[in-house]
Amino acid sequence: MRRRWTWLLVFSCVLNREGWVQSQSPAQAPGPTAPTSTLKVNSRLVLVDVTVANAQGKPVHGLAQQEFQVFDNNHPQKISTFEEHVDTPKAAYQPAATEPGDYSNDYLIHPPPVFNLILIDTNTLDMAAQMYLYDQLNRFIDELPQNQPVAIYHRWGDYTLPLQDFTANHELLHKAVRKAIPRPRIPGHATYSDRDTLKQVLGYIRTIPQRKNVLWFNGGSNAFLRPPPSNDAVFETVGELQLIDQLRDMYDELEAARVSLYPIDVRGLVNLGPDPDQNRARFEQHSLSSDMAQSTGGKAYYNDNGLHQIASRVITDDASFYTLTYSPDDLRLDNKWHKLKVKIEGHNYDLSYRQGYFDDGVNGATKPAKRGTRTLLRAYGRTQSVPDNQNEMIVFQARVLPSKEMPPAMVGQKPNPPEQAPKHGETTYTVHYTVPLDVFVQGSNGRKGTLQIGAAVMKFDQYGGRKGWLSQTLHLSFKQPQTKDSNAQIAFDQSMNLPKGNDTLFLVLWDASTGRVGSMQVPVSVR
C-alpha cells in the first residue's frame, strides 16, 4: 500500500531584529519576472588531477611544474596552470549545528582538498560478505582522524541513498553503517547496473566543489567493460550490450564533477577452485574495476582482505595530489576519444590520473577566472553587476523537528495548520531554514529591495525510493537600508506530514537570479 505524504508551506522570513520580509503567499502563483541573461566568456581547458606515489606507495611532495609532461593523443601540451594539494593537519572539524535537529553544510566554508564518500553496494554482496564489511568499516571509522569528514551512501535495489552527509562525527558514521548492513538481496539484484549507481551518486554530489573520491565497496560488477574506452568499446550488462554512447556520458559527468572511483572488492582473496566460469567472471569484474578507476584517476583494489587498511590508505595518501590544466591544440568537436598521458622524467613514480576524454564539447574544464564581478542583463537594457561566485555552494542551516517540538522563537509567526490533519501514523514536521542575506543577488523595486529564492525538498524512504518532492520560489521584498547589514539573515519554514519510518530529506536552496545552489541531506526518523 502506497504511503501518503502531505506538504504545507509556511514562510516566515526575518532579516534582522528591526524588520520583517514581506513574502508572497506560497499558494499564489508567482508574478511575471523580467527575463535575465548572463554574458560570460570561457576558455576551453582540460583539468587533470594527478596523484604521485613512490615505491612504498607514499605520496610525493614538492614536485615542480617543469617536471611534469602532458601528452594529448601523443602530442606534447603546454601546462597552463599547476597546483599542489597537500593534506596538512587541520583544526578539529566543529560543525556549527549543535542543537538537536540542527543540520548544516558548513563544511563547505573551509573544504578539504578531497571529499571522501563511502558507497556500500549491498546489491552485489551476500550476507557473509556484508558482515565482514560491517566489521571492517567500523574499524575504519574508529581509526579515522577526528577532523576527517566522510559521507556514507548505500546502494540497494534500484536506488542509491545518502545515509549520512559529510561529517567527522564517528557516532553518526557508525549509525549509517548499521542502517546499510545487513540487507538481504532482493529479486532481480543482478540486473541493476553500475552506470545507474554512479549517475545517482552524481546527482547528489556534482555541485560539491573540489575533488571527490568514491570508495565503492562491492562484490563484483554485473557489467563488463572491454578496455580501452574507445569508439569500438562496448558496455556489456546481463543479457544486453550497450554502445559506447551510453558509457560516454557517464565518463563525461564523472570528469566534469572531478570524481575519482576506488572500486574495492569486499570478497578479498578467495580460492575459486578449477571452475573456469567463476574464474573468468572474477577476471572480467576485476578488469572492469581497473578500467573505471584508471579512467577517473582512482585505483581498484581486489584480492586483498584488509578493507579497513585500504580505506585508510585512500583517505590519507590520496588527499595529496597535483592539479594541472592545459589547452588542447587539436580540439575538433568530433566526438573522438583523446588519450591522456602524464610523465615525470627521471623518476619511477606511480601516477594515477584519468586516462582521457571525449572531444564532444560537453566535458573539459573552464578556465578559472579571478574572483570579481559579472554582469546580468535585466529588462529594458538595464544591467546589474553581481559577484562571480555562482559556482560556490550556498551555506545554510536547517532545524528539522516535529512541529510541536519547534521552539516558538524559531518561527517568526505561528504556523498555519495543514489543510488536512495528519493521518494515522503521520507526524507534522517543520523545517526551519536560516541563510545569510548576502549570498543572494538583490534587485530593486522602487524604494524596496527584492529577492527571488528557490527552495526544494525531496523525500526518500529507507529503501531509497523517492516518495515526494516540493519546489517553490519565494518573491521577497524589504527596506533597502537593511541590505547594508552584513549579519542579516533570512529565515523561512516548511511544514509537512511525514509517515512513520526512517527517511531522508534532500534540501536544496538556490538564488533564482544567478542559479547559485546549496544543498544538504537530513535523516529523519518518525516514530
pLDDT tens track for 329-357: 777 777 788 889 999 988 889 998 988 88
For residue 71, which of 344, 261, 255 has the smallest C-alpha distance?
344
What's the confidence (pLDDT) of residue 22? 37
Residues of the chain with pLDDT under 70: 1-44, 87-99, 222-248, 271-275, 277-278, 361-391, 409-420, 444-447, 462-466, 479-486
DSSP-assigned beta bridge partners for residue 8: 495
The shares of helix, strand and coil residues in the chain, as percent rounded to the nearest 5, are 20, 40, 40
Quickly tell me which residue has 574464474 as its cell.
279
What is the Cα–Cα distance from 383 to 371, expressed in whole angstroms?
A: 19
Torsion of CA 379, 383, 388, 392, to 10 degrees: -30
What's the confidence (pLDDT) of residue 150? 92
- Are 72 and 326 contacting, i.e. CB atoms less than 8 angstroms apart? yes
What is the Cα–Cα distance from 71 to 81, expressed in whole angstroms?
A: 15
What's the confidence (pLDDT) of residue 384? 54
- Would you say domain 110-315 falls under CATH 3.30.565.10? no
What's the confidence (pLDDT) of residue 382? 55
Q: Where are the domains of the chain?
A: 6-39+372-526, 44-86+321-366, 110-315
| CATH of 44-86+321-366 given 1.10.10, 2.40.50, 2.60.40, 1.20.950 | 2.60.40
With vertex at residue 127, the alpha carbon angle to CA 312 and CA 131, rounded to the nearest 5 degrees, is 35
Give the pairing type, strands 383-387 and 397-402.
unpaired
Quickly tell me which residue has 571525449 as its cell.
358
What's the confidence (pLDDT) of residue 275? 67
What's the confidence (pLDDT) of residue 44? 67
Of the chain, the percentage scoring pLDDT greater than 70 comes to 70
What is the Cα–Cα distance from 466 to 159, expressed in whole angstroms?
A: 9
pTM of the model: 0.73
Residue 2: enclosing H or E segment and its boundaries? Answer: none
- Are 244 and 291 contacting, i.e. CB atoms less than 8 angstroms apart? no
476: cell is 521577497
- Are 429 and 23 contacting, i.e. CB atoms less than 8 angstroms apart? no
Strands of 37-38's sheet, edge to edge?
Answer: 37-38, 373-377, 383-387
What's the confidence (pLDDT) of residue 254? 85
**Cβ-based burial of 83 (10 A; exposed 0-12, middle 13-18, buried ≥19):** exposed
Same fold, 44-86+321-366 and 110-315: no
Mean pLDDT (the chain, rounded): 75
- Are 509 and 519 contacting, i.e. CB atoms less than 8 angstroms apart? yes
**Cβ-based burial of 447 (10 A; exposed 0-12, middle 13-18, buried ≥19):** exposed
What's the confidence (pLDDT) of residue 464? 62
With vertex at residue 415, the alpha carbon angle to CA 412 and CA 418, rounded to the nearest 5 degrees, is 160
- Would you say domain 6-39+372-526 falls under CATH 3.40.1280.10? no
What's the confidence (pLDDT) of residue 93? 45
pLDDT tens track for 207-264: 787 889 999 999 887 654 334 444 344 344 433 344 345 556 777 788 888 899 999 9
**Cβ-based burial of 75 (10 A; exposed 0-12, middle 13-18, buried ≥19):** exposed
Residue 505: enclosing H or E segment and its boundaries? Answer: strand 501-511
Answer positive or negative: Cα dihedral of 174, 179, 180, 184.
positive
What is the Cα–Cα distance from 325 to 353, expressed in whole angstroms?
A: 13
pLDDT tens track for 440-493: 877 766 667 778 888 888 887 766 666 777 778 888 777 665 545 557 788 888
